[in-house]
Copies of this chain bind each other. A is one copy, B any other.
């Protein structure tokens, strides 16, 4: 286990770690300021695929957390980068929200006119989903579109408790088309890690991942050789953390605890 003093970069999850819904978690802002003022590079690093980086930037700034768009890595952005790099001429159909559409536009990815014509279906969290949206995504895949999902989290911490996440949308499509997602970019995948390390210009053992999810944040940290700090302000209970504790470097009641542990 590393001491916090040996860490040069911190990858901070957003939902359940800094915010609960739109509510800033008490002490989060101060903890992040403390990390930054001790010279650590800070990256905001989230599986949220329904926001664009610009939207996340505005949300952070509004809460008094200063950063730059480049220091925010979201699965919406990473999905758009994947398509831009590997399939720049293909058209997509989106099961997702404005933030994802914004990132796809930024990456010059074009949208098919009809779901049947799309070569990729891009799936993200869609909190305004309707049956028609689900059916269009189904049609795209039935007609041959491959599936890229921003992430496959089962739930995310909303202000009213855990809420169904992309795993639900993806589950609906997979169960009815007999297809599996071809690409899932979100944590714990290497797609997110690659973008993060490129931006930080550090290697994993210099970095700490702070997050609330065992399945995405901690699993990624463990697999890729980051130090890990689990916070209990999101989707993981102390009891669940306990079972997994031999694989974690820190278990914190909140990111706010970091102020006093350094």
A-side residues, CB < 8 A to B, are 126-131, 134-135, 138-139, 142, 154-155, 161-165, 167-177
Contacts and interface: CB of A to CB of B under 8 A. Distances in A.
Nearest to A126: B131
A168 B163 contact: no
A163 B128 CA distance: 20
B168 A138 contact: yes
Given A127-B131, A131-B126, A155 B138 contact: yes
Contacts of A175: 154, 167-168, 170-172, 174-175
A165 B175 CA distance: 10
A175 B181 CA distance: 13
**Chain A residues touching B, majority SS:** helix
11 contacts: A126-B131, A128-B130, A129-B130, A130-B131, A135-B164, A142-B155, A154-B175, A154-B176, A164-B172, A168-B173, A172-B172
A155 B168 contact: no
A131 B131 contact: no
Given A167-B175, A168-B176, A172-B172, A129 B131 contact: yes
A93 to B, nearest CB: 14
A207 B214 CA distance: 55
Given A129-B134, A130-B128, A168 B161 contact: no
Instruction: Tell me the number of copies of this protein.
Output: 2
Contact of A174 (B131, B134, B135, B171): B171
Contacts of A138: 155, 163-164, 168
Contacts of A165: 176
Nearest to A177: B154
A135 B165 CA distance: 9
A7 B33 CA distance: 80
Contacts of A172: 164, 168-169, 171-172, 175
Residue of A128, A168, A169 ringed by the most chain B CB atoms within 10 A: A168
A167 B163 contact: no
Nearest to A161: B139
Contacts of A177: 154
A169 B168 CA distance: 9
Nearest to A125: B131
